Structure 1
Amino acid sequence: MSVRTDSKPAQATATPVAARLAGRWSRVSWVDAAVAAAVLVILYVVLRAGHGTTVAFNTHHNLRVDTDPARLPYDAARSLLRMFAALALSIVFTFAYAYAAAKSRRLERILIPALDILQSVPVLGFLTVAVTGFIALFPGSLLGLECASVFAIFTSQAWNMTFGFYYSLTSLPRELDELSRSFGFTRWMRFWKVEAPAGVIALVWNGMMSFGGGWFFLVASEAISVNNQQYALPGIGSYAGAAIADGDLGKVGWAILAMAVMVIGVNILFWRPLTAWAEKFKNEQSEASEVQHSVVLDLLRRSHWPRLLGRPLRPVGRWLGVAGRVFGRDDRALSVDRTRQRTGDLVFAVIAGGLILWGLVDLALYLHDRTGLGVFGQPLLLGLATLARVVVLVALATVVWVPIGVKIGFSPRLTRIAQPLVQLLASFPANFLFPLAVWFFLKTGLSINIGGTLLMALGAQWYILFNAIAGAMAIPSDLREAMDDLGVTGWQRWRRLIIPGIFPYYVTGGITASGGAWNASIVSEVVTFGGTALTATGLGAYIAEATEHGDYPHLLAGVAVMSLYVVGLNRLLWRRLYRLAEARYSL
């Protein structure tokens, strides 16, 4: 008995599948091939650089850095890996911390002052604790030092981004707020559909500035000196630190060249696409006549890979949206029990105040047993000298960089030219310029007490410039065009449009520039090259010396006094300007 089989149905079924596959492959272009190759190269570099983070490590031996220029590509990859790991942590921290502070009045009273203190604590202060903790967490492995270095870079990035996103949440346009509530958005939908997009421009530009701040403290994060013990990780920062210590100008030049290549490359491949993409989140009713462009972003938009890779993540987004409904709609209660609210505020204040008081008493007892409370006298006096430098720096940076930032932000063409240059200048660690600074100070007879202000400016003035650019870019194009139509120019244009438009961003830049200047004083008030060392009179030099010698009582006293100065300045000046910005200068 024979069975006759008909192959036509099978062919009919297979033909559409084959046609679809053939159609998909026919749409694969050279753009898809280039994007795929770039992703594979990035993955290879990450795996190759990440492999060296888990090697064995003995804490009893000082690590030395190989300053052979041939190792610079590998060192650059290790530094980039740390920088992007710290940036990822900073973004997660920013979303969680800023959202909690903006949405809870009780938490805001604790979190925002705490953020003032955190940004005032020097990177070396965090690093001293982090090294000991992470080495104990990963004994016998270099991963402990790697985590400590990433954490130190994180502390130089996170605060600026958090301040910027917090203000974006608190100054959300009222019509967007009402629209989201009328549509019954859940808190999750409201965050991703309304609040996060409203803060994208500020977050991108502050993220770019924070990334530059990470570069600035790269030497301190990779070449660690704690308690007379030297720890060094492979990276551009430690390479430059070793070359500076040896007084080798040739190798310092190689480090500067490698840093410039990295900064420009990261700007072209990462930050410029992000700033061009962020243009679509501007709050305006008419499209600007001239917008930013990025070749990398254009290639990604033409490629099929982002859409193909995004399909598996769609169920995750839907699941998070469903999970967000557990918290219900984001409606404010129509009636509030004032007595119950005041009781809750009182209980919260008592608990928080009790914890803070306990910490202060414990710190005072620790210092009293070891040095006596008179240890605060010297840093309080030295802090006045550093405070004078900070005030002069912020004032000069405001006068110089706000007009330049507005000019750049108003012109996409100028932004494309200026962005990589500004990013390069903002990212250069002051340590890289120490050889030139020592030569210049000795040649001209300029005191380090004055020259230290110039070195501090390398790490602080850019916060004002970047926020001025972001503020100018966020001003709706239709408002600018209306001013042009009305013929409003000169000081009237600044008073009626530009100053109100950029003021909230300037306040964010000012408060982070002030904190950044205090932090930068640690590496700017002590300048060394080879066997020559110049030390300024100031709180930064006091903390740097205490850190190098492992003098924890004096280190704690210096950090506490610096926190006191920063918090006091923020409370007396910047917080009042914040409230003014919220009340009068929100779109």
Structure 2
Amino acid sequence: MLAALAASTVFTLVYAWFAANNRYAEKVLVPLLDVLQSVPILGYLSITVTGFIALFPGSLLGLQFAVIFAVWTSQAWNMTFSLYQSLKTVPRDLGEAATLYRLGAWQRFWKLELPYAAPGLLWNAMMSMSGGWFFVVAAEALTVSGQQVSVPGIGSYIAAAIAAKNLGAIGWAILAMVAVILLYDTLLFRPIVAWADKFRLDNTVSVDAPRSFVLDFLRRTRLTQRLSRIPAVLWELSVRLLPPVPRDKPLARKQPVWADRMFYLLVALLSAGLLGALFFVLPRDFGWPQVGHVLLLGLITAFKVFALVALSALIWVPVGIWIGLRPRWAAVAQPVAQFLAAFPANLLFPLVVVAIVHWHLSVNVFTAPLMILGSQWYILFSVIGGASALPGDLREAGRNLGLRGWLLWRRLYLPAVFPAFVTGALTASGGAWNASIVAEVVSWGSHTLVATGLGAYITEATQTGQTLKVGLGVGVMALYVIAINRLVWHRLYEIAATRVRLD
């Protein structure tokens, strides 16, 4: 988990910076990120596990790397979207100040952009860490060439307990998860949150600033004080090696028209080639009636996802704002929210099956909430991060202007957290699409319930070994996710970057 988080952090810093600072890269990297997010995480595992095993024959090391890669894919996209959103909404006055101080791209990123993005990125990192537990359960019990292979870890233990219907073992696994989450929160996330509080865009001193006894201890130790000199030395060395920014910096030259035309021509040619290949392959391998049927199933799942994300937003946006504005409550809610997000939602599937069978409930209606059980927390964590970064002087200005009740929320709180909410809703939507593969086909013992939707289509095709149908289902899912992201969430990103940014 920790190795996957470290790899996700490095990927996030590099990928998000290029996407936010180069307009050609943005037009390629952001849609590519939509595609990567839309591919089911267990699909990555099925494709890469053989390659990792081949790299380390006769050793469990290859399987361990495959598990780390699977967990990485569950963490990286959420963190990258968060940092990208923050980089696109840096206040203009701070950007102008960085220009006046002649900060280069390297200094600007580490002195301005990353500190500004730190509160939201940290809360999304916590969510990513917690969300990775769900995929550890699936990734540590692998099927390779028809043979079940287990990697030592709590995920394989939970998978074995579910297979044996051993509720006592599942209970012990949950207790172990609680202990590990508390350790991570105490030793890692709480100290980082307390340290990063200094990066809040605020002109007032917070009375209820987050505290960490671990951070206080580390600050008082001589060893930590000596080690802290290493980053300072490396920073000075990097600044000296980079060329200085000229005092009279030339105005940014307008990109030549021919470069834009060449770029869009290349994109059009690639798109035309892809569409031509699809129109040749689809009728040959599937037939248009089956393609239309799968598109209809995708539309049904899309409606479920949209309704569930909207319902989750109505619940968790007010809760997240309330917690984020109260650091003391945030300190209490932080480990609780991490546990709820880390709790493997598939442990609740048997209870849903029993309830549906016992009371003869609708499978399509009552299995739908299973899709959002794990991903709804993206909205909560993102909103808490956005609310905790709200400057105190703006809150004081709101009180001085007499803003109360709904007017205060409509004029201040909701616009302030809107960019963070868009990031959380986008990743929650992607998570719900991923979860549909396991949530639309649930079983316990001899009872198996199948809902109508694209996730059920992919699951049934996987179980029967129909690789082409799996590819068709995954492709349609990617198509829907990209279309929704382009038409809805990225439009909201543009609104956040132009209308509700802190300028």
What interval of TM-score do these two structures reach, taking the shorter chain for normalisation? over 0.9
Offset of residue 313 of structure 1: 4.4
Counterpart secondary structure, 2:462: helix
Q: Work out whether residues 228 and 550 of structure 1, in 8 Å CA contact, stay in contact via their aligned partners in 2.
A: no
Q: Work out whether residues 292 and 412 of structure 1, in 8 Å CA contact, stay in contact via their aligned partners in 2.
A: yes
Q: Work out whether residues 401 and 465 of structure 1, in 8 Å CA contact, stay in contact via their aligned partners in 2.
A: yes
The reply to whether residue 451 of structure 1 matches residue 366 of structure 2 is yes
Partner of 2:124: 206
1:252 aligned to which of 167, 170, 173: 170
Q: Work out whether residues 408 and 415 of structure 1, in 8 Å CA contact, stay in contact via their aligned partners in 2.
A: yes
| Offset from partner CA, 1:1-57 (integer Å, 9 cap, x none) | xxxxxxxxxxxxxxxxxxxxxxxxxxxxxxxxxxxxxxxxxxxxxxxxxxxxxxxxx
The reply to whether residue 286 of structure 1 matches residue 201 of structure 2 is no
Corresponding letter in the other structure for 2:331:
R
Offset of residue 483 of structure 1: 1.8
| Offset from partner CA, 1:339-395 (integer Å, 9 cap, x none) | xx2211222233344445545555666666654565533321221221121111111
Mapping of 1:546-561 within 5 angstroms? Answer: 546-561=461-476
State how far apart, in whole Å, the 2-side matches of 1:295 and 1:437 are: 42
2:407 aligned to which of 486, 492, 495: 492
Partner of 1:219: 137
Q: Work out whether residues 409 and 472 of structure 1, in 8 Å CA contact, stay in contact via their aligned partners in 2.
A: yes
Mapping of 1:264-413 within 5 angstroms? Answer: 264-325=182-243, 333-334=250-251, 336-337=253-254, 341-358=256-273, 370-372=285-287, 375-413=290-328
Unpaired segments of 5 or more residues in structure 2?
none
Q: Work out whether residues 116 and 566 of structure 1, in 8 Å CA contact, stay in contact via their aligned partners in 2.
A: yes
State how far apart, in whole Å, the 1-side matches of 2:107 and 2:150 are: 45
The reply to whether residue 159 of structure 1 matches residue 159 of structure 2 is no
2:454 aligned to which of 522, 530, 539: 539
Mapping of 1:494-509 within 5 angstroms? Answer: 494-509=409-424
Corresponding letter in the other structure for 2:482:
V
State how far apart, in whole Å, the 2-side matches of 1:529 and 1:317 are: 56
Partner of 2:50: 132
State how far apart, in whole Å, the 2-side matches of 1:532 and 1:157 are: 33
Q: Work out whether residues 282 and 291 of structure 2, in 8 Å CA contact, stay in contact via their aligned partners in 1.
A: no
Change in Cα spacing, 1:529 to 1:251, as seen in structure 2 (3 Å) is: farther
Moved more, 388-397 or 426-435: 426-435
Partner of 1:586: 501
Corresponding letter in the other structure for 1:570:
N
1:419 aligned to which of 330, 334, 342: 334
Partner of 1:94: 12
Alignment TM-score, normalising by the size of structure 2 = 0.94
Q: Work out whether residues 372 and 428 of structure 2, in 8 Å CA contact, stay in contact via their aligned partners in 1.
A: no
Change in Cα spacing, 1:150 to 1:331, as seen in structure 2 (3 Å) is: farther
Q: Work out whether residues 118 and 199 of structure 2, in 8 Å CA contact, stay in contact via their aligned partners in 1.
A: yes
Counterpart secondary structure, 1:395: helix
Offset of residue 551 of structure 1: 2.8
Moved more, 213-222 or 472-481: 213-222
Corresponding letter in the other structure for 1:477:
G
Corresponding letter in the other structure for 1:565:
Y
Corresponding letter in the other structure for 2:2:
F
Mapping of 1:460-539 within 5 angstroms? Answer: 460-539=375-454
Q: Work out whether residues 134 and 147 of structure 1, in 8 Å CA contact, stay in contact via their aligned partners in 2.
A: yes
Q: Work out whether residues 225 and 548 of structure 1, in 8 Å CA contact, stay in contact via their aligned partners in 2.
A: no
Q: Work out whether residues 430 and 523 of structure 1, in 8 Å CA contact, stay in contact via their aligned partners in 2.
A: no
State how far apart, in whole Å, the 1-side matches of 2:46 and 2:282 are: 17
State how far apart, in whole Å, the 1-side matches of 2:280 and 2:107 are: 49
Corresponding letter in the other structure for 1:563:
A
| Offset from partner CA, 1:284-317 (integer Å, 9 cap, x none) | 1111222111222222222222222233444433
State how far apart, in whole Å, the 1-side matches of 2:495 and 2:39 are: 27
| Offset from partner CA, 1:410-442 (integer Å, 9 cap, x none) | 111111111111111111111222333333333
Q: Work out whether residues 185 and 330 of structure 1, in 8 Å CA contact, stay in contact via their aligned partners in 2.
A: no
State how far apart, in whole Å, the 1-side matches of 2:343 and 2:334 are: 14
The reply to whether residue 104 of structure 1 matches residue 22 of structure 2 is yes
Offset of residue 566 of structure 1: 0.9
Counterpart secondary structure, 1:439: helix
| Offset from partner CA, 1:210-256 (integer Å, 9 cap, x none) | 11221122222222236644332112122111211122222122222
Offset of residue 181 of structure 1: 1.3
Identity of aligned residues (%): 50
Offset of residue 552 of structure 1: 2.2
1:179 aligned to which of 80, 91, 97: 97
Change in Cα spacing, 1:323 to 1:561, as seen in structure 2 (3 Å) is: farther
Unpaired segments of 5 or more residues in structure 1?
1-82
Change in Cα spacing, 1:545 to 1:564, as seen in structure 2 (3 Å) is: same
Q: Work out whether residues 187 and 330 of structure 1, in 8 Å CA contact, stay in contact via their aligned partners in 2.
A: no
Q: Work out whether residues 219 and 431 of structure 1, in 8 Å CA contact, stay in contact via their aligned partners in 2.
A: no
Corresponding letter in the other structure for 1:208:
M
Change in Cα spacing, 1:390 to 1:252, as seen in structure 2 (3 Å) is: same
State how far apart, in whole Å, the 2-side matches of 1:465 and 1:176 are: 28
Partner of 1:49: none
Counterpart secondary structure, 2:149: strand
Counterpart secondary structure, 2:201: coil
Counterpart secondary structure, 2:448: strand
The reply to whether residue 239 of structure 1 matches residue 154 of structure 2 is no
State how far apart, in whole Å, the 2-side matches of 1:252 and 1:378 are: 39
Q: Work out whether residues 436 and 456 of structure 2, in 8 Å CA contact, stay in contact via their aligned partners in 1.
A: yes
Corresponding letter in the other structure for 1:468:
V
Corresponding letter in the other structure for 1:286:
T
Change in Cα spacing, 1:312 to 1:335, as seen in structure 2 (3 Å) is: closer
Q: Work out whether residues 50 and 144 of structure 2, in 8 Å CA contact, stay in contact via their aligned partners in 1.
A: no
Offset of residue 565 of structure 1: 0.9
Report how many aligned residue pairs link the two structures. 502
Q: Work out whether residues 215 and 427 of structure 1, in 8 Å CA contact, stay in contact via their aligned partners in 2.
A: yes
Change in Cα spacing, 1:402 to 1:128, as seen in structure 2 (3 Å) is: same
Change in Cα spacing, 1:136 to 1:563, as seen in structure 2 (3 Å) is: same
Counterpart secondary structure, 1:325: coil
CA RMSD of aligned residues (A): 2.2
